[in-house]
């Protein structure tokens, strides 16, 4: 399977990011808690050199809680500040705010020593498409926040959202392109629905998911479909196909339909809270 991310978009996104990153103190990077490696573009480490870094394991409500804990530790050990959250809820926002303060403590101290008081920390949200950047910005900004800059006829420039007296957020997130060199990464991004399905081979995705589930979440397919988790993934898919009565007009098994069913159930959390990546220690 081949995945495409057009070079033109990539260059534009990169240029925007390079420009904006100069203005900020801390990069708030969203990754998907179900695939914290594949949804992270390592190029950001280069772009955000010398910046404070906060990783948000977003959509944690969909991920395996135990693995999310392990991923948090994994990134903390690499020197990042980390928080897991469901961006649609405002519950974790307080923790994000205090982590930003903590991460930028040194800068605040430096400013204070130079006699610079009340200079807010400037933050920018980055992440690959569909990871939840806009959702996070809305929750983080809340209703009370005010937007500054870009007032017609007054100032030209970026829009900043004043979060509180200490923090300002750039209101346009930086879009990172997923790293597709490795096809496993493409497959994982596809499984969580971050690439449009029309261009993908559904059976191949279903087979891949079945193989992973049988090894890492034994019993899940048996519980949901009564499937026998025996044999290879083709046999298991055929078994689920039969049990669910997925047939084509001529009566042959409709394996694509069965694969689609499993994918939809996975994405809608009807199987379990499943993460597709496990940190290596």
Task: Please say whether the beta carbons of 57 and 39 come within 8 A.
Answer: no
Which of 59, 72, 158, 179 binds ligand G4P (CB under 6 A)? It is 59
Which one of 16-24, 80-88, 233-241, 243-251 is the stretch in contact with ligand G4P (CB under 6 A)? 80-88
Q: Does the footprint of ligand G4P cover residue 86 (CB under 6 A)?
A: yes
Q: How far is the CB of 227 from ligand G4P (least distance, A)?
A: 26
Q: What is the rounded distance in angstroms from the CA atom of residue 92 to the CA atom of residue 83?
A: 8
Q: Does the footprint of ligand G4P cover residue 277 (CB under 6 A)?
A: no
Task: Please say whether the beta carbons of 81 and 56 come within 8 A.
Answer: no
Nearer Cβ to ligand G4P (84/237) = 84
Q: Does the footprint of ligand G4P cover residue 87 (CB under 6 A)?
A: yes
Q: Does the footprint of ligand G4P cover residue 267 (CB under 6 A)?
A: no
Task: Please say whether the beta carbons of 214 and 221 come within 8 A.
Answer: yes
Q: Does the footprint of ligand G4P cover residue 70 (CB under 6 A)?
A: no
Q: In the stretch 5-44, what mask flags binding to ligand G4P with x, by CB under 6 A?
A: ----------------------------------------
Task: Please say whether the beta carbons of 127 and 134 come within 8 A.
Answer: no
What residues have CB less than 8 Å from 56, skipping those under 6 apart? 28, 29, 30, 31, 82, 83, 84, 85, 87, 96, 136
Q: Which residue's Cβ lies closest to ligand G4P? A: 132
Q: What is the CA radius of gyration of the chain?
A: 22
Q: How far is the CB of 130 from ligand G4P (least distance, A)?
A: 5
Structure tokens at 78: 């690499």
Which of 35, 44, 57, 62 binds ligand G4P (CB under 6 A)? It is 62
Strand pairing class (160-162; 167-170): antiparallel
What residues have CB less than 8 Å from 118, skipping those under 6 apart? 165
Q: What is the rounded distance in angstroms from the CA atom of residue 79 to the CA atom of residue 54?
A: 9
Which one of 64-72, 130-138, 184-192, 248-256 is the stretch in contact with ligand G4P (CB under 6 A)? 130-138
Q: Does the footprint of ligand G4P cover residue 206 (CB under 6 A)?
A: no
Q: Does the footprint of ligand G4P cover residue 174 (CB under 6 A)?
A: no
DSSP 185-219: HHHHHHHTT-S-GGGS-HHHHHHHHHHHHHHHSTT
Q: How far is the CB of 126 from ligand G4P (least distance, A)?
A: 10
Q: Does the footprint of ligand G4P cover residue 53 (CB under 6 A)?
A: no
Which of 72, 133, 158, 179 binds ligand G4P (CB under 6 A)? It is 133
Nearer Cβ to ligand G4P (62/246) = 62
Positions 214 through 243 that interact with ligand G4P (CB under 6 A): none
Please report the beta strands in 107-232, taking only residues with DSSP state E, as ranges in sequence order.
Answer: 121-127, 146-148, 160-162, 167-170, 174-175
Q: Does the footprint of ligand G4P cover residue 260 (CB under 6 A)?
A: no
Contact residues for ligand G4P, defined by CB under 6 A: 58-59, 61-62, 86-88, 127, 129-135
């Amino acid at each position: 399977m081949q995945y495409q991310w057009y070079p033109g978009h990539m260059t534009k996104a990169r240029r925007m990011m390079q420009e904006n990153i100069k203005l900020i103190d801390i990069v708030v990077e969203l990754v998907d808690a179900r695939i914290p490696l594949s949804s992270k573009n390592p190029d950001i480490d280069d772009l955000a050199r010398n910046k404070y870094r906060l990783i948000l394991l977003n959509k944690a409500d969909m991920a395996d809680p135990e693995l999310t804990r392990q991923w948090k530790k994994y990134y903390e050990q690499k020197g990042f500040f980390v928080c897991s959250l469901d961006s649609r809820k405002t519950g974790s926002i307080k923790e994000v705010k205090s982590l930003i303060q903590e991460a930028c403590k040194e800068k605040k101290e430096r400013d204070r020593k130079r006699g610079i008081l009340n200079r807010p920390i400037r933050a920018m949200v980055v992440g690959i498409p569909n990871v939840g950047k806009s959702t996070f910005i809305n929750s983080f900004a809340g209703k009370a926040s005010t937007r500054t800059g870009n007032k017609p006829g007054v100032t030209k420039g970026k829009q900043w959202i004043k979060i509180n007296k200490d923090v300002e957020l750039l209101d346009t997130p930086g879009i990172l392109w997923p790293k597709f060199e490795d096809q496993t990464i493409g497959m994982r991004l596809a499984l969580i629905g971050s690439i449009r399905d029309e261009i993908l081979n559904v059976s191949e995705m279903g087979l891949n998911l079945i193989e992973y589930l049988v090894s890492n979440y034994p019993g899940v397919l048996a519980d949901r479909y009564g499937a026998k988790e025996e044999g290879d993934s083709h046999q298991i898919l055929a078994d689920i196909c039969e049990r669910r009565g997925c047939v084509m007009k001529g009566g042959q098994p409709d394996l694509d339909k069965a694969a689609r069913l499993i994918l939809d159930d996975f994405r809608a959390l009807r199987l379990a809270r499943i993460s597709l990546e496990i940190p290596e220690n």
